[in-house]
Amino acid sequence: MLCVIYKSAKKAQTYLFVKTRDDFSLVPEALMTMFGTPTLVTLTNLATKKKLAFANLEKVKINLNEEGYYLQLPPPPEDLLKQHKAQMDNQNQGE
């Protein structure tokens, strides 16, 4: 299964997977507006992949077959303050 991956011009670390190069006909208009002008990243054969870096391979394949596209959003930002507080609590409980 071939797919084409584009990055968003408006949203950092946001990628759109479609089946055919430059064919966004199955992508909702509101999503395309939010995504901005797509920039081609790569063309890949999902059939030869065992996994993807930041997306579930099977979910990508299912979405491409059922919806005609897959949107990969960035991971949630790390809450370093929350992590620090949890670490401090753990240290204080150990005393």
Q: Which domains does the chain have, with CATH numbers?
A: 2-93 (3.10.510.20)
Sequence-distant (6+) residues with CB within 8 A of 31 are 71
Residue 77 is predicted with a pLDDT of 75
pLDDT digits (tens, 9 = 90+) for 4-62: 999 999 999 999 999 999 999 999 999 999 999 999 999 999 999 999 888 899 999 99
pLDDT digits (tens, 9 = 90+) for 63-82: 999 999 999 998 877 777 88
At position 37, the amino acid (one-letter code) is T
**Other C-beta atoms lying within 10 Å of the C-beta of residue 49:** 13
Radius of gyration of the chain (CA): 18
